[in-house]
Structure 1
Amino acid sequence: MRSKLSTLFFSTARKVARLQRTAWRLGMPGLFDERAPQRARRPPAKSPATRKPAAADAAPEFDAADFAGVWKSRVYRTPAVPGAWPVRLSYFVYVPPKLRKGCPMLVMLHGCEQSAMDFAVGTRMHRLADREGLLLVYPQQSLRGQRHRCWHWYQPDAAHGYAEADAIAGIASAAALDYRADPTRVYIAGLSAGASMAALAALRHPHIFAALAMHSGAVLGSARSAADGLRTMRHGASLPPDAALAPLLGDRAGFPGMPAIILQGGRDAVVDRRNGVHLLAQLAWANGLDADAAGPQQEEGEGTVRHYRRTDVPAGRGTVVSLCEVPELGHAWSGGDGRVRFHARQGPDASRLIWRFLKTRRRVAQAETR
């Protein structure tokens, strides 16, 4: 018996080691490292005369002068509630020129190894916000909370994923109140880990968010740990939609629905393309629909660098859930600033696609809250 247990132990240890090496190779080490980082010393500032010129393809530094609107920095702390896990998050608000009362608002969640400002520069969502009068809110995961700024979507419990989702919902409510945004037009979007966290926040708080956008995100309900999260990213859902989402939604009959758009790269080596297909099924189920009700796949921009394939549920003008697959795209925001890590020039403009889907959605007033 002792020999069998020893063999099982070392077999399991070898498998975990392989998973860890794979995570590092794919550039997602944060899933396996929860240690708090040492505070790095800030290098002395260089004068303009000694600063080296940036390479043509180097990632641009954040410069407020590149934005027509104004940036505001805020800190949110979850209220002290017995049994609730305390969360403290920084967030940044982008106020476009001539913002009007009753404006729509979009919460944007960055991915692992990104800051809120990386995400803002890479997606260029501010350009659209300037034209549309859209208030943007960028919560930022703390380095104390996760060494690589990953959101804990893969640990949906009161001390991790749920606590962060509740804090993000709290930020959305506070920002909407502060800037007098339309409470029926508050949306949420994210990239990679931020996409899965956006889904967790939206499905957990349908009384706050009117619609959801996920770019390169993993399915929900199949992970309870970092190792589970990696397996989910590589293989997609391990449970059918009802089993995966029932713990999150509770009684689906009482769930008001959550329109959603999903974007997924066909050459994504970090989050396998199967996640996009499985998310379509999950979010269709959450909205009381069947993925089998999807219309035929539509080719958009065929023969150009903007080519993608769209699948809508249900078919026709009443689309509630839409999947946009970009065949040649890796793990990156489509049509963004390619100089910023995890953003690509190729593919359709994801920011424009997302806003086109979100802008007509309105949340139905609900008395019930979680």
Structure 2
Amino acid sequence: MSVTRKVQAMARMAVAVCALFSALGATPARAGEWVHGVYSNIWGTRSFQLWVPTGYQPGEPLPLVVGLHGCLQNPDQFAGLSRLNAKADAERFLVLYPNQAMYANGTQCWNFMFSSNQERGIGEPSLIVGMVDWVKGHYAVDSRRVYLGGVSAGAVMTSVLMACYSDVFTAGMVGAGAMYKAATTASGSLYAMTFGSIYSPDDRGYDAWACSGKARRKVPVLVVHGTSDDVVNPVNGQQAARQFLQTNDYGDDGSNNNSVSNTPARTTSGVSAGGRKYTVRDYVSNGVLLVQHIEIQGMGHAWPGGDGAFPFADPAGPDGTTIMWDFFKQHSR
């Protein structure tokens, strides 16, 4: 074959390959860049941002982490605060950042306190899960490793999603948040954030298990809270840990029989490079770290180890993003 014919053949092959990727909807964005999108269903419309990490290769399934911002934040600010994109580049996973619309909440809080957002298949949780499905349809995602973490209002929405979509999310982090259905009204939410929920974590543990259809499935959850949080009372972190322990007690065998103990298997302590002392309580079931509760002494309403250039950062704290990812990567379907 002549050189000219070889070049022509290679050109035809390149065109065919590009056409195939286009037909499959699989043409990737350049590695290490933002992809912006909008998702709609009958419950509304929300924008989102997807971080495609350096080294992404079409066809190679990567883990997906969903990052939920707090009030008075957006995806860019939460990404900057947490440095989650840098971790994604280093560890090779995709990051989806749903964005709360200001027309839905003037302070961009997720509306976790309303019953329309506390059940499966409806409201804001359905929009976020729809975005996850969109990412799965356009990028190579390992469905066994889809994780979820948030701060403040995003953390409470994380509790909702971990409760009602335990088949979608493999593990989650509740940072400066509260348990599932800590409140069911706006006024109740204000009370819960100030004093703790009036509801029993054990009862809410059952409700969370029921929301996913009473699945025989464990729900690994990391809870992180500062002891000086004056926005979300630290008792909410304690309640969240207890609620998910109860959810897992039902999830392993369908019964409330303390098969998942609410007594920590071990309690350790440490000091961050910035001088923050912290306590770690590990709840282990059949050799698996199922719930981890970390209390950080003196930290307010913040993301630990966050970038001080952004609101809600506690640079003195331990690296919350590393703690979160280290917890997530222990778990796979």
Q: 2:246 aligns with which of 285, 295, 315?
A: 285
- Residue type at the aligned position of 2:67: M
- Residue type at the aligned position of 1:144: Y
Quote the offset at 1:250 in angstroms: 1.7
SS of the counterpart of 2:126? Answer: helix
Task: Show the 5 A alignment for 1:310-349.
Answer: 310-314=280-284, 317-349=287-319
Instruction: Decide which moves more: 106-115 or 242-251.
Output: 242-251
Q: For residues 182-238 of structure 1, what are the alpha-carbon distances to aligned partners after superposition, in whole Å with 9 as ceiling and x for unaligned? A: 011110100000001011112111111111111000222231111100111122232
Task: Show the 5 A alignment for 1:17-96.
Answer: 69-78=32-41, 80=42, 86-96=43-53
Q: 1:195 aligns with which of 155, 169, 190?
A: 155
Q: For residues 271-312 of structure 1, what are the alpha-carbon distances to aligned partners after superposition, in whole Å with 9 as ceiling and x for unaligned? A: 111111111100111111555331342112379524311001
Quote the offset at 1:160 in angstroms: 9.3
Instruction: Decide which moves more: 237-246 or 221-230.
Output: 237-246
Aligned position for 2:88: 129
**In 1, distance between residues paired with 2:72 and 2:38?**
20
The alignment status of 1:173 with 2:133, answered yes or no, reads yes
Task: Show the 5 A alignment for 1:138-157.
Answer: 138-157=97-116
- Residue type at the aligned position of 1:190: G
Distance 1:164 1:302, change over 3 A: closer
**In 1, distance between residues paired with 2:159 and 2:32?**
28
- Residue type at the aligned position of 2:133: S
Aligned position for 2:55: 98
**In 2, distance between residues paired with 1:271 and 1:159?**
19
Quote the offset at 1:253 in angstroms: 5.2
Q: For residues 304-348 of structure 1, what are the alpha-carbon distances to aligned partners after superposition, in whole Å with 9 as ceiling and x for unaligned? A: 524311001128952100001111110010001012111121110
Quote the offset at 1:121 in angstroms: 0.6
Tell me which protein shows more strand as a share of its residues. Answer: 2
**In 1, distance between residues paired with 2:295 and 2:177?**
12
**In 2, distance between residues paired with 1:194 and 1:132?**
23
SS of the counterpart of 2:265? Answer: coil
Q: 2:234 aligns with which of 265, 273, 276?
A: 273
Q: For residues 109-133 of structure 1, what are the alpha-carbon distances to aligned partners after superposition, in whole Å with 9 as ceiling and x for unaligned? A: 0001111111011110111111111
SS of the counterpart of 2:275? Answer: coil
Quote the offset at 1:360 in angstroms: 2.4
Quote the offset at 1:240 in angstroms: 2.0
Aligned position for 2:204: 244
Quote the offset at 1:362 in angstroms: 1.2
Quote the offset at 1:254 in angstroms: 2.6
Equivalent pairs, count: 291
SS of the counterpart of 1:112? Answer: coil
**In 1, distance between residues paired with 2:115 and 2:94?**
29
**In 1, distance between residues paired with 2:208 and 2:247?**
10
Identity across the alignment (%): 28
The alignment status of 1:118 with 2:88, answered yes or no, reads no
Aligned position for 2:3: none
Distance 1:229 1:263, change over 3 A: same
Runs ≥4 in structure 1, deviation > 6 angstroms?
A: none
**In 1, distance between residues paired with 2:316 and 2:112?**
28
Distance 1:316 1:333, change over 3 A: farther
Tell me the TM-score normalised to structure 2 length.
0.82
Aligned position for 2:322: 352
**In 1, distance between residues paired with 2:123 and 2:200?**
25
- Residue type at the aligned position of 2:124: E
Instruction: Decide which moves more: 232-241 or 93-102.
Output: 232-241
Quote the offset at 1:157 in angstroms: 2.1
**In 2, distance between residues paired with 1:94 and 1:304?**
29
**In 2, distance between residues paired with 1:279 and 1:109?**
17
Aligned 8 A contact 2:146 2:170 in 1: yes
- Residue type at the aligned position of 1:263: V
Quote the offset at 1:241 in angstroms: 2.5
**In 2, distance between residues paired with 1:166 and 1:324?**
29
Aligned 8 A contact 1:69 1:96 in 2: yes
Instruction: Give ranges in structure 1 of 5+ residues lacking alignment.
Output: 1-67, 81-85, 364-370
The alignment status of 1:362 with 2:322, answered yes or no, reads no
- Residue type at the aligned position of 1:203: A
Tell me the TM-score normalised to structure 1 length.
0.74
- Residue type at the aligned position of 1:282: Q
The alignment status of 1:300 with 2:300, answered yes or no, reads no
